[in-house]
């Protein structure tokens, strides 16, 4: 995951492309016109976007350097303006880097880097710098200290809006309490109307970046809010991969063509794309030829009973080479043609070239002109009767029910198309389709036959299969870069070619454990579950979906569950309703997982948080503002599977909880009845109250842990009335040193208290006893772990 610094200037953002198309306006004007796209369309949103850009930047910078992020975000109400401060503990940047990192507008967008990165989102910190400058007129104040340097450096940076060039106005050394890192301070117009979104954004960022510590303070807070880190494990490093041929757009291809060092198309696809070797490149180039040049129709060689005669035609076409040589040449050509099933024009050219070598035997040379003549004559013979050739092909491609006359009519009209068509009987697939359509239409009109869509398609497929890819040299890369249509042919050829899926080491999922840890630290719930799916591919881009669910505890029980959406570790704040994630959550039947869902569809109700993280080299968004994941079927399927995986765990948890609740209820009722019964029984029989704990434990199918004490002898009895084996961890804290411990128990002295620890396994229906001796005045404190509370009866 390289930081923004390392990829600066390598690629230009889409916004720059947009800017170019509006060349006559200043960058400030451009910004003004496009600020809705850049996320600065309202004062409330501007603050959110600025925080978002700065935090993304800070996380990237630290992770790249292998440092656990420690990020400080502060928003201050500075009278007319708000001041935003974001600090990180990254490696720091040098004076030379400062303008590039913070100033060069629109350079931050790593638009088509094939790697999972936060930078895909938004347009970069420089947009925030510009916004601040345009609204407050103040420069961006940047403090940075590189590791090991004695002092920090302070810069004031402005962007020259005419030139789109950053400029350091003021620089000095200063002292800073961080040993390394970067701090940016921006003053800007804004308001805190999006306070809840802002807090949500920070909180959600903390969930998906459990390795980061984030401190956040805004004007309404009494003290900063700390989002602690839950792991010391940095996200796995990703490797940037080249684009996959199935995942690029025409604009990208054109740009790549313009920038590549390769000259040939084959070299270009091999060096610029992932998963393309020589063999795949050859397939791509062949497909490109078919699209660009079309294929050549290949015709059957005339048979002996046909009127056409290749040998005679060639003979007559050759002059002044002597009868012997001419005959030998003509026979050679005729034999070679006859040896093949079908011959296309380019093949005929090869045959003639090969045959011309026979001239050496006769001391003559069959020069270019002679060969052209021979080719022309032989081709005339080959194409003399296209109709009967086509008849067989059409007949083979159509059903037997087709009228013979209709087939003949179609073949005849197709033959005419080829004759009138491009020379050498070339046609692209779409041209061929037009031939067939035209011929079929006419046949329908004049021969009273029908050629439906399927029949036409079959004929096209049959003809295309016997047509031959031409050997022509494909255009060079530099020509393609200029030729939009040809480049489009190439793109289609790439898409058509079977290519294995892209590698997935470009992705860095959070992993299920850390998704759970992230939820745990930010949500106080009773239950957590998470899942990480295997990588899959959409449109050439690998992606991984992760889901997490938190339930119960302090989560809001009223109303709908919270749906948290993330793309490449960045929270999606706006456009919840337009997001594929939301759609999938709504489409799941949550009642199956024991959550309430009015009407059986929609966001479930109850104290739950459902989070979904989509990691991809190219997360498809619904719009430029990148707030909602587009409805791509492959991604939706994976989102659903990931959520269901986590939801299954939720279901079994809820089932268990329900049965424990039932048990608890039963316990409450019976536990209130039994003592009253005991009391009354004692009253009626005129006795002391009977001991009923054993009976109660038995009724509850509980584990009963009971202390019996006789002088210096202590017995801890564990009776298991459940129907499974139980292995409780029992700790008895004794105020005097115990001795003669039985049954493998240990006693540990801790400041004058002895911890007697014992972990028996008690089969269903049996009991285990721990005995030890201790002075009579000792007191005890017994605790039992490993058995759910409702299943435990403790009788000290």
Distances (CA, A) of 7 to 129, 319, 435: 19, 67, 51
**Dihedral sign, CA of 384, 385, 390, 396?**
negative
Among 28, 44, 168, 670, binds another protein (CB under 8 A): 670
DSSP code per residue over 53-110: HHHHHHHHHHHHTT---EEEEEEEEETTEEEEEEEE-S----TTHHIIIIISTT----
Q: What is the C-alpha to C-alpha distance for residues 33 and 22, in angstroms, rounded to an integer?
A: 10
Binding segment for another protein (CB under 8 A), chosen from 1-9, 289-297, 358-366, 672-680, is: 672-680
Nearest distance from C-beta of residue 749 to another protein, angstroms: 35
Identify which of 639, 636, 634 has the alpha carbon closest to the alpha carbon of residue 539. Answer: 634
Nearest distance from C-beta of residue 551 to another protein, angstroms: 28
Binding segment for another protein (CB under 8 A), chosen from 273-281, 505-513, 562-570, 680-688, is: 680-688
Nearest distance from C-beta of residue 706 to another protein, angstroms: 10
Nearest distance from C-beta of residue 761 to another protein, angstroms: 22
Interaction between residue 342 and another protein (CB under 8 A): no
Nearest distance from C-beta of residue 628 to another protein, angstroms: 51
Q: What is the C-alpha to C-alpha distance for residues 62 and 323, in angstroms, rounded to an integer?
A: 85
Among 138, 666, 707, 757, binds another protein (CB under 8 A): 666
419 and 383 in contact (C-beta within 8 Å)?
yes
Interaction between residue 369 and another protein (CB under 8 A): no
User: Token pair 């006893």 is at which residue?
Assistant: 769
Interaction between residue 683 and another protein (CB under 8 A): yes
Nearest distance from C-beta of residue 696 to another protein, angstroms: 9
Torsion-angle region of residue 683: left (phi > 0), alpha (psi -120 to 50) or beta? alpha
565 alpha-carbon distance from chain centroid: 13
Tokens of 462: 């049959």
Interaction between residue 681 and another protein (CB under 8 A): yes
Interaction between residue 764 and another protein (CB under 8 A): no
Q: What is the C-alpha to C-alpha distance for residues 623 and 629, in angstroms, rounded to an integer?
A: 9
Nearer to another protein, 44 or 678 (CB): 678
Tokens of 320: 């002044």
Interaction between residue 786 and another protein (CB under 8 A): no
Interaction between residue 658 and another protein (CB under 8 A): no
Identify which of 692, 696, 703, 691 has the alpha carbon closest to the alpha carbon of residue 669. Answer: 696
614 alpha-carbon distance from chain centroid: 5
Nearer to another protein, 36 or 662 (CB): 662
Distances (CA, A) of 509 to 504, 512, 534, 543, 544: 10, 9, 10, 9, 7
Tokens of 742: 């039985």
Nearer to another protein, 85 or 671 (CB): 671
Nearer to another protein, 356 or 697 (CB): 697
Nearer to another protein, 174 or 672 (CB): 672
Among 236, 258, 500, 669, binds another protein (CB under 8 A): 669
Nearer to another protein, 488 or 701 (CB): 701
Q: What is the C-alpha to C-alpha distance for residues 118 and 559, in angstroms, rounded to an integer?
A: 32
Nearer to another protein, 24 or 687 (CB): 687
Binding segment for another protein (CB under 8 A), chosen from 455-463, 535-543, 562-570, 664-672, is: 664-672
Binding segment for another protein (CB under 8 A), chosen from 386-394, 476-484, 676-684, 728-736, is: 676-684
449: DSSP letter: -
Site map 611..650 versus another protein, x via CB under 8 A: ----------------------------------------
**Dihedral sign, CA of 410, 415, 420, 423?**
positive
Q: Quick one: angle between helices 580-587 and 633-685, nearest 10?
A: 40
CA atoms within 13 A on the CB side of 689: 10
Nearer to another protein, 67 or 678 (CB): 678
Please calculate the CA angle 416-422-425 and round it to the nearest 5 degrees. Answer: 70
Interaction between residue 676 and another protein (CB under 8 A): yes
Strand partners, 530: 548
Q: What is the C-alpha to C-alpha distance for residues 773 and 6, in angstroms, rounded to an integer?
A: 70
Interaction between residue 723 and another protein (CB under 8 A): no
Nearer to another protein, 303 or 676 (CB): 676
Among 18, 68, 78, 677, binds another protein (CB under 8 A): 677
Nearer to another protein, 258 or 682 (CB): 682
Q: What is the C-alpha to C-alpha distance for residues 767 and 761, in angstroms, rounded to an integer?
A: 9
Cα(first)–Cα(last) distance of the chain, in Å? 57
Interactions with another protein, residue window 689-718 (CB under 8 A): 690-695, 698-699
Among 685, 749, 750, 751, binds another protein (CB under 8 A): 685
Nearer to another protein, 247 or 790 (CB): 790
Nearer to another protein, 557 or 673 (CB): 673
Q: Would strands 570-571 and 426-427 be described as parallel, antiparallel, or unpaired?
A: unpaired
Nearest distance from C-beta of residue 670 to another protein, angstroms: 5
**Dihedral sign, CA of 319, 322, 323, 327?**
negative
Nearer to another protein, 516 or 726 (CB): 726
Identify which of 326, 379, 325, 323 has the alpha carbon closest to the alpha carbon of residue 351. Answer: 379
Nearer to another protein, 679 or 789 (CB): 679
Binding segment for another protein (CB under 8 A), chosen from 415-423, 433-441, 512-520, 671-679, is: 671-679
Interaction between residue 673 and another protein (CB under 8 A): yes
378 and 337 in contact (C-beta within 8 Å)?
yes
Nearest distance from C-beta of residue 693 to another protein, angstroms: 8
Nearest distance from C-beta of residue 665 to another protein, angstroms: 8
Residues 423/426/428/431 CA torsion (nearest 10 deg): 60
Among 22, 601, 672, 746, binds another protein (CB under 8 A): 672
Binding segment for another protein (CB under 8 A), chosen from 91-99, 305-313, 687-695, 773-781, is: 687-695
Interaction between residue 684 and another protein (CB under 8 A): yes
Exposed, middle or buried, 560 (CB in 10 Å: 0-12/13-18/19+)?
middle
Nearer to another protein, 692 or 755 (CB): 692
Nearer to another protein, 174 or 691 (CB): 691
Interaction between residue 678 and another protein (CB under 8 A): yes
Instruction: Determine the 3-state secondary structure of 763 from DSSP.
Output: coil
Interaction between residue 769 and another protein (CB under 8 A): no
Nearest distance from C-beta of residue 683 to another protein, angstroms: 7
Identify which of 111, 127, 129 has the alpha carbon closest to the alpha carbon of residue 119. Answer: 111
Q: What is the C-alpha to C-alpha distance for residues 658 and 426, in angstroms, rounded to an integer?
A: 74
Please calculate the CA angle 520-522-523 and round it to the nearest 5 degrees. Answer: 65
Q: What is the C-alpha to C-alpha distance for residues 351 and 349, in angstroms, rounded to an integer?
A: 5
Nearer to another protein, 78 or 678 (CB): 678
Radius of gyration for the chain, computed over Cα atoms and rounded to the nearest angstrom? 40
Among 23, 24, 399, 687, binds another protein (CB under 8 A): 687
Among 556, 680, 764, 766, binds another protein (CB under 8 A): 680
Nearest distance from C-beta of residue 667 to another protein, angstroms: 10
Nearest distance from C-beta of residue 679 to another protein, angstroms: 9
Site map 15..34 versus another protein, x via CB under 8 A: --------------------
629 and 578 in contact (C-beta within 8 Å)?
no
Nearer to another protein, 630 or 677 (CB): 677
Which residues here bind another protein, judged by CB under 8 A? 666, 669-670, 672-674, 676-678, 680-685, 687, 690-695, 698-699
């Amino acid at each position: 995951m390289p930081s923004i610094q390392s990829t600066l200037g390598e690629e230009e953002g889409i916004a720059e492309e947009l800017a170019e198309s509006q060349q006559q306006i200043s960058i400030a004007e451009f910004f003004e016109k496009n600020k809705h796209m850049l996320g600065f369309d309202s004062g409330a949103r501007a603050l959110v976007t600025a925080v978002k850009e700065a935090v993304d930047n800070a996380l990237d910078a630290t992770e790249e350097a292998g440092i656990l992020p420690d990020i400080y975000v502060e928003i201050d109400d500075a009278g007319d303006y708000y001041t935003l401060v974001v600090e990180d503990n990254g490696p720091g940047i040098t004076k030379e880097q400062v303008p590039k990192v913070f100033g060069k507008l629109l350079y931050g967008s790593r638009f088509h880097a094939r790697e999972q990165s936060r930078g895909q989102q938004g347009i970069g910190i420089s947009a925030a710098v510009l916004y601040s400058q345009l609204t407050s007129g103040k420069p961006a104040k940047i403090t940075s200290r590189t590791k090991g340097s004695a002092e920090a450096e302070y810069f004031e940076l402005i962007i020259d809006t005419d030139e789109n060039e950053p400029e350091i106005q003021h620089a000095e050394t200063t002292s800073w309490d961080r040993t390394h890192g970067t701090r940016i301070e921006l003053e800007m117009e804004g308001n805190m109307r999006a306070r809840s979104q802002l807090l949500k954004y920070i909180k959600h960022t903390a969930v998906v970046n459990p390795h980061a510590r984030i401190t956040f303070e805004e004007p309404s807070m009494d003290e900063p809010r700390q989002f602690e880190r839950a792991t010391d494990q940095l996200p796995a490093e990703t490797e940037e991969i080249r684009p996959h041929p199935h995942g690029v757009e025409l604009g990208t291809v054109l740009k790549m063509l313009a920038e590549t060092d390769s000259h040939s198309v084959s070299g270009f696809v091999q060096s610029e794309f992932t998963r393309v070797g020589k063999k795949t490149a050859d397939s791509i180039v062949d497909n490109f030829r078919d699209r660009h040049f079309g294929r050549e129709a290949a015709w059957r060689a005339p048979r002996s009973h046909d009127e056409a005669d290749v040998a005679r035609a060639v003979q007559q076409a050759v002059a002044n080479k002597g009868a012997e040589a001419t005959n030998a040449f003509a026979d050679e050509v005729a034999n070679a043609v006859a040896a093949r099933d079908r011959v296309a024009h380019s093949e005929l050219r090869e045959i003639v070239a090969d045959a011309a070598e026979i001239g050496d035997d006769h001391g003559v040379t069959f020069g270019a002109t002679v060969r052209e003549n021979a080719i022309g004559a032989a081709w005339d013979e080959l194409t003399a009767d296209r109709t009967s050739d086509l008849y067989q092909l059409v007949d083979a491609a159509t059903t037997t029910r087709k009228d013979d006359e209709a087939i003949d009519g179609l073949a005849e009209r197709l033959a005419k198309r080829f004759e009138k068509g491009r020379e050498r009987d070339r046609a692209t697939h779409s041209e061929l389709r037009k031939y067939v359509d035209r011929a079929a239409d006419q046949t329908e009109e004049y021969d009273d036959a029908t050629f439906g869509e399927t029949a036409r398609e079959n004929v096209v497929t049959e003809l295309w299969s016997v047509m031959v890819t031409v050997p022509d040299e494909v255009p060079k890369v530099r020509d393609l870069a200029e030729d939009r249509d040809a480049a489009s042919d190439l793109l289609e050829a790439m898409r058509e070619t079977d290519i294995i899926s892209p590698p997935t080491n470009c992705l860095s999922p959070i992993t299920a454990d850390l998704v759970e840890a992230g939820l745990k630290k930010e949500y106080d719930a009773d239950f957590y579950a998470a899942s990480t799916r295997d990588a899959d591919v959409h449109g050439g881009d690998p992606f991984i979906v992760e889901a997490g669910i938190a339930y119960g505890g302090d989560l809001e029980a009223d109303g709908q569950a919270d749906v948290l959406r993330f793309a490449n570790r960045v929270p999606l704040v706006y456009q919840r309703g337009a997001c594929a994630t939301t759609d999938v959550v709504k489409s799941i039947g949550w009642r199956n997982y024991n959550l309430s869902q009015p009407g059986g569809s929609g966001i479930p109700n109850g104290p739950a948080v459902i989070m979904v993280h989509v990691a991809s080299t190219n997360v498809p968004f619904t719009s430029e503002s990148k707030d909602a994941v587009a409805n791509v079927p492959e991604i939706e399927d994976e989102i659903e599977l990931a959520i269901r995986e986590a939801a299954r765990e939720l279901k079994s948890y809820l089932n268990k909880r329900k049965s424990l609740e039932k048990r608890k209820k039963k316990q409450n009722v019976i536990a209130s009845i039994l003592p009253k019964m005991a009391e009354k029984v004692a009253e009626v029989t005129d006795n002391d109250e009977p001991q009923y704990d054993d009976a109660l434990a038995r009724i509850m199918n509980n584990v009963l842990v009971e202390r019996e004490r006789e002088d210096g002898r202590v017995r801890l009895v564990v009776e298991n009335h459940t129907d499974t084996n139980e292995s409780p961890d029992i700790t008895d804290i004794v105020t005097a040193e115990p001795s003669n411990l039985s049954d493998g128990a240990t006693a540990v002295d801790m400041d004058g208290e002895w911890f007697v620890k014992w972990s028996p396994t008690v089969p269903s229906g049996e009991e285990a006893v721990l005995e030890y001796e201790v002075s009579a005045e000792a007191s005890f404190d017994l605790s039992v772990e490993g058995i759910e509370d409702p299943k435990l009866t403790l009788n000290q």
